[in-house]
Amino acid sequence: MSFYLLALGTFVLDQLSKALIVRHFRPGQSIPILPGFFDLTFVLNPGAAFGFLAGLPEQIRHPLFVTIAVVAAVLIVLYRHRHLRHHALASAALGLILGGAIGNLVDRLRYGMVVDFLDFYLGPYHWPAFNVADSAISIGVSLMLVDLVLEWKRERRDATRKT
């Protein structure tokens, strides 16, 4: 149950934060929060992460990204239920990934693009703007990697004990 609650919470936080940005900002508008480091900047991203494939024609890009998001969401739910029901860390990771994927999917269905607004930079070095869904996906993937390493260590420890 916590898997779904985490996915839902991630989705709701993502959509609420984007609704505030869309309501109070114009595309391209930026407000410095920590000058020289962090701004809130309303960006509509037609591509995937960091604008990946943004140059594809709309009639290809939009159905491609929507299909990928739907397939990913279905596979996440199926994989979690078949293999990770009793793995708390991996389930939490997949809940974050699912919530983020659905959050960005809703943007694509609503706007044809994803709303990004978290804008970090340091001097001339600029990270592409992102959103809560992107953050949740990144954290979820990181937690999955941690879970894999922990599982690998458990398997090694168990194998050592058996010999």
Q: pLDDT at position 50, please?
A: 65
**pLDDT in 10s for each residue of the chain, 163 residues:** 699 999 999 999 999 999 999 999 999 999 999 999 999 999 999 877 766 777 777 888 888 889 999 999 999 999 998 888 788 999 999 999 999 999 999 999 999 999 999 999 998 899 999 999 999 999 999 999 999 999 899 888 888 887 6
For 66, the domain range is 2-162
Q: pLDDT at position 55, please?
A: 75
Residue/partner pairs of 19-26 with CB below 8 Å, 24 or more apart: 21/115, 21/117, 22/115, 25/117
Sheet holding 30-34, edge to edge: 30-34, 38-45, 114-122, 125-126
3-state secondary structure the chain: CHHHHHHHHHHHHHHHHHHHHHHHCCCCCEEEEECCCEEEEEEEECCCHHHCCCCCCHHHHHHHHHHHHHHHHHHHHHHHHHHCCCCHHHHHHHHHHHHHHHHHHHHHHHHCCEEEEEEEEECCEECCCECHHHHHHHHHHHHHHHHHHHHHHHHHHHHHHHC
84: which 2 tokens?
A: 């990770």
Residues 6+ apart with CB under 8 A from 68: none
Please give the tally of structural domains in the chain.
1
| Residue 10 buriedness (CB in 10 A; 0-12 / 13-18 / 19+) | buried
Residues that are catalytic: 116, 134
